[in-house]
Amino acid sequence: MPTRRRVLGGIAASCLPATLAGPALAQADFPNRAVSMLVGFAPGGGTDIVARLLSPSLHKRLGQPVTVENRPGASGTVAAANVARARPDGYSVLMGTVSTQSVVAPLMRPPPYDQMKDFTPITLAGTVPLVVMVPKDAPYRDLKGLIEYARAHPGKLNYASSGVATQQHLAAEMLSQAAGISMTHVPYRGTGQVVNDLLAGTLDLAIDTLPTHLPHIRAEATRALAVTTPQRVPALPDLPTVAEMGFPGFDTVVWYMLLGPAGLPGPVTERLSQAMRDSLAEPDIRKRLEENGYIPGGGTPEDAATLVRTDAERYGALVQKTGIRID
């Protein structure tokens, strides 16, 4: 069974057996109309960016438009639930995240879907580091200074996320536990508004997806303090990691994955997966993803399903430990 790191690193693509028989004959011409790709967050966030980067290439390879539809709400689960209930014909797909597919749904009462049973994982689109972000005029210049400030002012710092139990929320809780600090969580509907509030200086802190904030970091309009991966990232080689700043082993990323409803026919799944793999192998696409701070994905539907399962176990244990709840 592939390890989580092997899956995240991208696995050489392989073709799945597909048999067209009976009702599957209608799948032979898939797609013969536009495909809707739902995004569970507002425009401007990491999920939206990767979906819009891939959409034109998928259009070219599938021969039909792939339209990105933003349906934000409930930590990304509004869009995910829509796809879970959709007809399994491949015309409604989801750009899901580690949060929507491995963490959030079981915490809701009632759960909007079964994250393990109600989807067909197709292909990993990519992963991104999270970056610790503060306004450019924040009184702390590095992560050590932020932690010292938080210890001296328990609960005063407000940190943003794109929803309860999203990866941004979990990363901040992980840091709070590791550093022994207390901060106040402010959930947003997406990360576009988080950027605006950091630019305006009305928000203290966000541990958020790198692509969302990279242009503002480069323009020195906001300040990055650290990245959450074990190694520094090529896009910001001078920025230290959280692990380097005194928290060895700190490691959390966000991944993005194309999924369809449960019961998606094998030929349709493979058609979409092949289009994704070909798009991700395109030099221009890879270059644009990497320039925007993404690590391009790939791999088979089986690899994608393995990643969902392993991270559901990993983050489920973290949620239990932190006591995060969605009321």
Digit-coded pLDDT (tens) for 73-109: 998 999 999 999 999 999 999 999 999 999 999 989 8
Question: 243 exposed, middle or buried (CB, 10 Å; 0-12, 13-18, 19+)?
Answer: middle
Taking the CB of residue 101, how many other CB atoms lie within 10 A of it? Answer: 27
For residues 176 and 270, membership in a common domain is answered with no
Is 197 contained in some domain?
Answer: yes
For residues 278 and 140, membership in a common domain is answered with no
8 A C-beta contact, residue 40 and residue 77: yes
Place of tokens 């242009």: 215
Q: Which secondary-structure segment (H or E) carries 303? A: helix 301-322
150 conformational bin, left if phi > 0, alpha if psi -120 to 50, beta if neither: alpha
| Residues with Cβ within 8 Å of residue 301, at least 6 apart in sequence | 16, 120, 121, 122, 123, 269, 270, 273
* pLDDT recorded at residue 20: 40
**Tokens coding 98:** 């580690």
How many domains does the structure of the chain reveal?
A: 2
Quote the domain boundaries for residue 150.
Answer: 129-227
Is 142 contained in some domain?
Answer: yes
For residues 158 and 212, membership in a common domain is answered with yes
Give percent of the chain with pLDDT exceeding 90. 77
Can you point out the beta strands (E) in the chain? 35-39, 66-70, 92-97, 119-135, 158-161, 184-187, 205-209, 222-227, 253-261, 295-298
| Residues with Cβ within 8 Å of residue 31, at least 6 apart in sequence | 62, 63, 64, 90, 91, 271
Name beta bridge partners: 257. 96, 124
Digit-coded pLDDT (tens) for 210-259: 988 999 999 999 999 999 999 999 889 999 999 999 999 999 999 999 99
Last residue of a domain, one of 209, 227, 245: 227
For residues 120 and 181, membership in a common domain is answered with no
For residues 142 and 97, membership in a common domain is answered with no
Is 189 contained in some domain?
Answer: yes
Regarding pTM above 0.85, the answer is no
The backbone torsions φ and ψ at residue 209, rounded to the nearest 5 degrees and listed phi first, read: -65, 135
* pLDDT recorded at residue 321: 81
* pLDDT recorded at residue 5: 55
For residues 86 and 148, membership in a common domain is answered with no
| Residues with Cβ within 8 Å of residue 51, at least 6 apart in sequence | 37, 39, 68, 95, 125, 256
* pLDDT recorded at residue 115: 95
Is 244 contained in some domain?
Answer: no
Place of tokens 């969302």: 212
- The CATH number of residue 156's host domain is 3.40.190.10
| Residues with Cβ within 8 Å of residue 215, at least 6 apart in sequence | none
Last residue of a domain, one of 207, 227, 247: 227
Task: Tell which wins on pLDDT, 226 or 4.
Answer: 226
Q: Dump the DSSP string for 215-274.
A: HHHHTTSEEEEEESSSS--TTSTTSPBTTTTT-TT---EEEEEEEEETT--HHHHHHHHH
* pLDDT recorded at residue 45: 86
For residues 107 and 154, membership in a common domain is answered with no
Is 243 contained in some domain?
Answer: no
Check whether 2 has a pLDDT greater than 90.
Answer: no
Is 190 contained in some domain?
Answer: yes
For residues 312 and 212, membership in a common domain is answered with no
Is 236 contained in some domain?
Answer: no
- Which has the minimum average pLDDT: 150-154, 185-189, 215-219? 185-189
Give percent of the chain with pLDDT exceeding 70. 91
For residues 167 and 216, membership in a common domain is answered with yes
Is 245 contained in some domain?
Answer: no
For residues 193 and 56, membership in a common domain is answered with no
Taking the CB of residue 125, how many other CB atoms lie within 10 A of it? Answer: 26
Digit-coded pLDDT (tens) for 5-47: 555 554 433 333 444 444 454 577 899 999 999 999 989 888 9
For residues 207 and 113, membership in a common domain is answered with no
* pLDDT recorded at residue 26: 52
